[in-house]
Amino acid sequence: MQRRDSIRIIAAATFGASLPGCTPWNREPAADHAHAAPTSRTAVDGVEGTFEGYAPRFFTEAEMRTVRVLADWILPADERSGSASDARVPEFIDFTASDREELQVPLRGGLAWLDYRATGRHGARFVECSTDDQRAMLDEIAWPDAAAPDVKAGVEFFTLFRDLTASGFFSSRMGTEDLGYTGNTTVAVWEGCPTDALDHLGTSYEG
């Protein structure tokens, strides 16, 4: 699943920036930017599922472990920036769910659906499955147009979760740096639209 470029389009909705009281997390990316399956880099003292300086408001610790793994599958670390968990997207999703009741049943139900399917197929919860098995399960629900009817619930959950992950990441400091977004800057003298921008739009001042 090629995610990072396409998921920037999802982030254009600026969901995260519209939430009251929600500010970007200030967390430096991890040194390890290898392209690998999700890891528990945010674990504290080797205890999987705990998050430094954050106590979950809505999810249980077991649910937060799954949230972290899912978020990192959607936005893994690469040569540009850290992963979703490096940007503290799991905490963002937990905060959002605690503040928006309409998200609570879909998110908790979706996590339960994922564990139920993983247990039925592989005899273990999703986070306990191998990375190959996790990838195969996500491939079944990541593409709505190609998904089988019996995974409709999973598709709806994953679509919601992917939107939240994109919103959390690209409204964080790490995400805005990934996009190269600089915000409003002062222009001492306005000399018109840059030539490369005009060329991109296929127009010119003479036209």
Amino acid at 65: R
- Cα–Cα distance for residue pair 127/45, rounded to 1 Å: 19
Q: Give the pLDDT score at 7.
A: 52
Do residues 110 and 161 touch, judged by C-beta distance below 8 A? Answer: yes
Per residue in 52-111, pLDDT tens?
A: 677 899 999 999 999 999 999 999 998 888 999 999 999 999 999 999 999 999 999 999
Per residue in 124-181, pLDDT tens?
A: 999 999 999 999 999 999 999 999 999 999 999 999 999 999 999 998 888 888 888 8
Q: How is residue 9 written in tokens?
A: 């389009």
Per residue in 2-39, pLDDT tens?
A: 455 555 544 444 344 444 334 333 333 333 333 334 44
- Cα–Cα distance for residue pair 164/138, rounded to 1 Å: 16
Give the model's confidence band at 43: pLDDT under 50 very low, under 70 low, under 90 confident, else very high: very low
H helix or E strand, kind and range, residue 24: none
